[in-house]
Structure 1
């Protein structure tokens, strides 16, 4: 097993705090919550790195430009 990278460590730590803060309440929708919370800042960072070039950003992310545009729209980043 490879060592965890900084991003996975941050997500793990955040989830540990989230579960601790629930104080025994049953969690729900964790997957969608994590994706929603991580996706927007990831898109913002990649768009900044590419100077707003959507074709380059899509290549970096490994998604199509159309998918990138849809996600940017969903997150209010266009």
Structure 2
């Protein structure tokens, strides 16, 4: 799906500061901050070679969970919403033990 057709205004987290003022934080900023925090607290003696699949799994599993709840378990609707093939969805559900 072309990126310009996706409405990103809902991919935002709303929080309040000390003065009770609403702060909007885009999802990508929250992901970035989490990744920065992970790297800052990383033990320098360890070599990382699986960061990409680690990050994907941290995002993919909750995405699948929420979409499957939203579609009430309808894999066809879920696959269409996610823009992936139904068989790919089934593989991903199996990967996370969600089948």
What TM-score comes out, normalization by structure 1 length?
0.85
Q: What RMSD in Å do the two structures reach over aligned CA positions? A: 1.4
> Who wins on radius of gyration, i.e. which is larger?
2
Provide the rounded CA distance (Å) in 2 between the counterparts of 1:44 and 1:19: 26
1:32-69, Cα deviation, whole Å (9 max, x unpaired):
11001111000001111111110000000000100000
State the partner residue of 2:29: 9
Q: Which has the higher strand share?
A: 2
Is the aligned partner of 1:64 residue 2:66? no
What TM-score comes out, normalization by structure 2 length?
0.68
State the partner residue of 2:73: 52
Q: CA deviation at 1:27?
A: 3.5
Count, aligned residues: 74
Q: Which has the higher helix share?
A: 1
Provide the rounded CA distance (Å) in 2 between the counterparts of 1:54 and 1:7: 25
Structure 1 range deviating more: 47-56 or 21-30: 21-30
SS in 1 for 2:59: helix
1:9-35, Cα deviation, whole Å (9 max, x unpaired):
121011010011015445432111100
* Structure 1 unaligned residues grouped into runs of 5+: none
